[in-house]
Structures are given as C-alpha cells and as structure tokens.
Amino acid sequence: MKIIALATSYPRDASDVAGRFVADAVEAVRAQGVDVEVVSPATFPHFGIAYGGGIAQNLRTAPWKLALVPAFVAADARAARAA
C-alpha cells in the first residue's frame, strides 16, 4: 500500500523542527511497512509562502505574497500528482 501525505510543513533536514510531528507520524506509519510519500513545501517551490513563521504569518507580514498563492497551490498539486 502507498500513502501520499500532503503537509504544509515538513522538516527540510534532520535539524529542522518545522513539521516534526508530521515526520514522526510518517515514520510511525512507515515502521508498519506502509510506503509513504510526503509532499510538502520542502519538495516543491513554495515562493517564500511556507516555513519561517508559517503560511498564515508569512502572508500576514508580506501581503504581496498573496499573489503567489495560486502558483504555490499549482506547485503543490503538481508535486502531489507526481508522487
């Protein structure tokens, strides 16, 4: 069985705490023998919308990034389809 986990935050490396709870859950499922593919802003262009303070805060502090949300969503969708 293969599962695709869609997350708005996921660790980009071992020291990254962003989305650590998602990574822990993914690892627990993988330990059960399930093939899990993670799609997150770590795996597609996020245009500065993700990470940092999180999507909501990033858009609040830089409202001009709202114009990039369609590109962000499209990149996420492409990555999900490719997974």
Contact 48, 42 (CB under 8 A): no
Domain of residue 50 covers 2-82
Q: Number of folded domains in the chain?
A: 1
Instruction: Name the token pair of 47.
Output: 């245009």
How confident is the model over 23-80, as pLDDT tens digits? 999 999 999 999 999 999 989 999 999 998 899 999 999 999 999 999 999 999 999 9
**CA 6 vs CA 53, 56, 60, 65, 77: distances in Å:** 19, 17, 23, 21, 10
Closest C-alpha to 22, from 36, 34, 35: 36
The pLDDT of residue 16 is above 90: no
pLDDT at residue 18, as a whole number: 85
- Report pTM: 0.84
Q: Confidence class of residue 14 from pLDDT cuts 50, 70 and 90? A: confident
Residue bearing tokens 């999180």? 54
Q: Which two tokens stand for residue 57?
A: 């805060």
Beta bridge partners of 38: 5
